[in-house]
Structure 1
Amino acid sequence: MDHEKVNILLVDDQPAKLLAYEVILKELGENLVIASSGREALEVLLKTEIAVILVDVCMPELDGFELAAMIREHPRFQKTAMIFISAIQVSDIDRLRGYEMGAVDYVPVPVVPEVLRAKIKVFSELYRKTRELERLNQELEDRVRARTAELENSTTKLRESEQRRSMAIAAGKMGSWDWDWISGDWMWDEGQYRIFGVNPESFAVNPANVQALLHPDDVEQLRKAVAEFNMGTRAYETEFRILRPDGEVRWCVGTAAATVDDSSRVVRVSGVTVDITERKRAEERQNLLAREVDHRAKNALALAQSIVRLTRADEVKAYVNAVEGRINALARVHTILSLSSWQGAELSKLIDEEVAPYSLGGQIVLAGPEVQLLPTTAQTLALALHELFTNSAKYGALSTRSGRLAIGWQVEDQLLTLSWEESGGPLVMPPKSRGFGTRSLLASVESQLGGQAQFDWRAEGLVCRLEVPLIRKTAATTPGKFDAASASGLQRASG
Structure 2
Amino acid sequence: MDHEKVNILLVDDQPAKLLAYEVILKDLGENLVIASSGREALEVLLKTEIAVILVDVCMPELDGFELAAMIREHPRFQKTAMIFISAIQVSDIDRLRGYEMGAVDYVPVPVVPEVLRAKVKVFAELYRKTRELERLNQDLEDRVRARTAELENSTAKLRESEGRRSMAIAAGKMGSWDWDWITGDWMWDEGQYRIFGVVPENFEVNPANVQALLHPDDVDQLRKAIAEFNKGTRSYETEFRIVRPNGDVRWCVGTAAATADDSGRVVRVSGVTVDITERKRAEERQNLLAREVDHRAKNALALAQSIVRLTRADEVKAYVSAVEGRINALARVHTILSLSSWQGAELSKLIDEELAPYSLGGQIKLAGSEVQLLPATAQTLALALHELFTNSAKYGALSTRAGQLAIGWQVEDELLTLTWEESGGPLVGTPKSRGFGTRSLLASVESQLGGQAHFDWRAEGLLCRLEVPLVRKTAATAAPEKFEAASSAELQRASG
Do both proteins adopt the same fold according to a TM-score greater than 0.5, normalized to the shorter chain?
yes
Describe the superposition over 1:188-212 as per-residue Cα deviations: whole angstroms up to 9, x where unpaired. Answer: 2455346446667887545576467
CA shift digits 1:262-294 (9 cap, x unpaired): 999987554432333354234324423432332
How far apart are 1:384 and its partner, in Å? 0.6
Structure 2 vs 1, CA of residues 276 and 483 (structure 1 numbering), >3 Å: closer, same or farther?
Answer: closer
The structure richer in helix per residue is 2
- Work out whether residues 178 and 269 of structure 2, in 8 Å CA contact, stay in contact via their aligned partners in 1: yes
Shift of 1:322: 1.4
User: Greater shift after overlay, 420-429 or 52-61?
Assistant: 52-61
Q: 1:435–1:178: structure 2 CA closer, same or farther, 3 Å change rule?
A: closer
Structure 2 matches for 1:120-135, cutoff 5 A? none
Report the Cα distance in structure 2 between the residues aligned to 1:151 and 1:120, rounded to whole angstroms: 46
Question: Larger deviation: 452-461 or 196-205?
Answer: 196-205
Q: 1:403/1:368 Cα in 2 relative to 1: closer, same or farther (>3 Å)?
A: same
Indicate how the Cα distance of structure 1 residues 46 and 284 shifts in structure 2: closer, same or farther if over 3 A, else same: farther
Query: Is the CA contact 2:476–2:483 (under 8 Å) kept in the aligned structure 1?
Result: no
Structure 1 residues 352 and 182, CA gap change in structure 2 (3 angstroms): same
CA contact (8 A) 2:456 2:463 kept: yes
Structure 2 counterpart SS, 1:273: strand
Deviation of 1:472 (Å): 1.9
Contact 1:451 1:467 in 2 (8 A): yes
Q: Distance in 1 between matches of 2:108 and 2:293?
A: 50
How far off is 1:486 after superposition?
Answer: 7.2
C-alpha distance in structure 1 between counterparts of 2:342 and 2:3, whole Å: 38
Q: Residue 161 of structure 1 contacts residue 289 of structure 1 at CA under 8 Å; is this kept in 2?
A: no
The match for 2:3 is: 3
8 Å Cα contact 1:114-1:258 kept in structure 2: no
Deviation of 1:314 after TM superposition, in Å, equals: 1.4
Partner of 1:151: 151
* Cα pair 2:169 2:175 within 8 Å, conserved: no
Measured after TM superposition, the shift of residue 455 of structure 1 is 0.8
Bigger shift: residues 409-418 or 21-30: 21-30
Q: Which has the higher contact order (CA 8 A, sep 6+)?
A: 1
Following TM superposition, by how much is the alpha carbon of 1:347 offset from its aligned partner in structure 2, in angstroms?
0.9
Give deviations 1:347-384, integer Å, cap 9, x for gaps.
11101111222222222221222211111111111011
Alpha-carbon deviation of 1:390? 0.7
For 2:111 and 2:186, the matched residues in 1 are separated by 20
Q: Cα distance 1:145–1:269, how it changes in 2: closer, same or farther (>3 A)?
A: closer
- 1:78-119 CA-partner distances (Å, limit 9, x unpaired): 999999999999999999999999999999999999999999
What is the distance in 2 between the residues matched to 1:177 and 1:104? 79
Change in Cα spacing, 1:390 to 1:82, as seen in structure 2 (3 Å) is farther
For residues 285-309 of structure 1, the C-alpha deviation after alignment (integer angstroms, 9 at most, x for no partner) is 4423432332233222222222222
Query: 118-127 or 322-331, which moves further after superposition?
Result: 118-127
Q: CA deviation at 1:319?
A: 1.7
On the 8 A contact 2:354/2:385 being kept in 1, the answer is yes
Structure 1's unaligned 5+ residue stretches are none
Q: Is the 8 A contact 1:306 1:484 kept in 2?
A: no
In structure 2, C-alpha distance between the alignment counterparts of 1:235 and 1:256, rounded to whole Å:
6
Tell me whether 107-116 or 338-347 shows the greater mean CA deviation.
107-116
Which has more radius of gyration? 2
CA distance in 2, matches of 1:260, 1:126: 69
Of the structure 1 ranges 385-394 and 223-232, higher mean CA displacement relative to structure 2 is found in 223-232
* C-alpha deviation, 1:242, in angstroms: 3.5
Secondary structure of 2:380 counterpart: helix
Contact 1:310 1:488 in 2 (8 A): no
Q: Does the 8 Å CA contact 2:236/2:256 hold for their aligned counterparts? A: yes
User: Which residue in the other structure is 2:270 paired with?
Assistant: 270
Q: 1:377 to 1:168 in 2, by over 3 A?
A: same
Provide the rounded CA distance (Å) in 2 between the counterparts of 1:71 and 1:99: 13
Q: Matches of 2:150 and 2:220 in 1, distance apart?
A: 50
SS in 1 for 2:160: coil
Checking the alignment, whether the CA contact within 8 Å between 2:170 and 2:191 is kept in structure 1 is: no
Q: Compute the TM-score of the two structures, normalised by the length of structure 2.
A: 0.55
Greater displacement, 50-59 / 359-368: 50-59
8 A contact 2:50–2:80 mirrored in 1:
yes
Moved more, 24-33 or 435-444: 24-33
Q: How many residues matched?
A: 495
Displacement after TM superposition at 1:428 (Å): 0.8
| 2: CA distance, partners of 1:465 / 1:373 | 18
Does structure 2 retain, via aligned residues, the 8 Å contact 1:437–1:491? no
Shifted more, 468-477 versus 200-209: the winner is 200-209
Any idea what SS the aligned residue of 1:354 has? helix
Shift of 1:342: 0.6
- Matches of 1:121 and 1:222 in 2, distance apart? 83
Deviation of the 1:346 alpha carbon: 0.8
Stretch deviating more after TM superposition (357-366 or 141-150): 141-150
* Counterpart-to-counterpart distance in 1, 2:198 and 2:472: 48
Q: CA RMSD in A?
A: 25.5
Distance 1:200 1:484 in 2: 60
Cα distance change of structure 1 residues 391 and 37 upon mapping to structure 2, 3 Å threshold? closer
**Shift in CA distance, 309/463, structure 1 to aligned 2, threshold 3 Å:** same
| Superposed CA offset, 1:134-168 (max 9, x none) | 99999999999999999999999999999999999
Cα-to-partner distance string for 1:189-245 (whole Å, 9 max, x where unaligned) = 455346446667887545576467555765675578679989999986542223568
C-alpha deviation, 1:27, in angstroms: 71
- The 3 A distance-change label for structure 1 pair 269 and 61 is farther
> How far does residue 430 in structure 1 lie from its aligned partner after superposition?
1.4
Percent identity between the aligned chains? 92
Q: Aligned partners of 2:117 and 2:198: how far apart in 1?
A: 28
Asked whether the 8 Å contact 2:396–2:461 carries over to 1, the reply is yes
Separation in 1 of the partners of 2:91 and 2:196?
25
Contact 2:252 2:275 in 1 (8 A): yes
Cα 1:23–1:367 shift into 2, 3 Å: farther
Superposition pairs for residues 51-130 of structure 1, below 5 Å?
A: none
Which stretch of structure 1 is more off in the superposition, 265-274 or 376-385?
265-274
Query: Which range is displaced more, 64-73 or 168-177?
Result: 64-73
Question: SS at the partner of 2:236?
Answer: strand
CA separation of 1:444 and 1:57: change in aligned 2, threshold 3 A: farther
TM-score (ref. length: structure 1): 0.55
Judged with a 3 Å threshold, the aligned counterparts in structure 2 of structure 1 residues 247 and 336 are, in CA distance, closer, same or farther, namely farther
Structure 1 residues 39-59: Cα deviation after superposition (integer angstroms, max 9, x where no partner): 999999999999999999999
Q: Closer, same or farther in 2 for the Cα pair 1:21/1:202, shift >3 Å?
A: farther
1:83 aligned counterpart, secondary structure: strand
Cα–Cα, structure 1 residues 443 and 348, in superposed 2: closer, same or farther, change >3 Å? same
1:437–1:489 CA contact under 8 A, matched in 2? no
Structure 2: state its 5+ residue gaps: none
2: CA distance, partners of 1:372 / 1:134? 68
Counterparts of 2:58 and 2:265 in 1: how far apart (Å)? 36
Report the Cα distance in structure 2 between the residues aligned to 1:101 and 1:269, rounded to whole angstroms: 83
Give the secondary-structure state (helix, strand or coil) at the position aligned to 1:33: strand
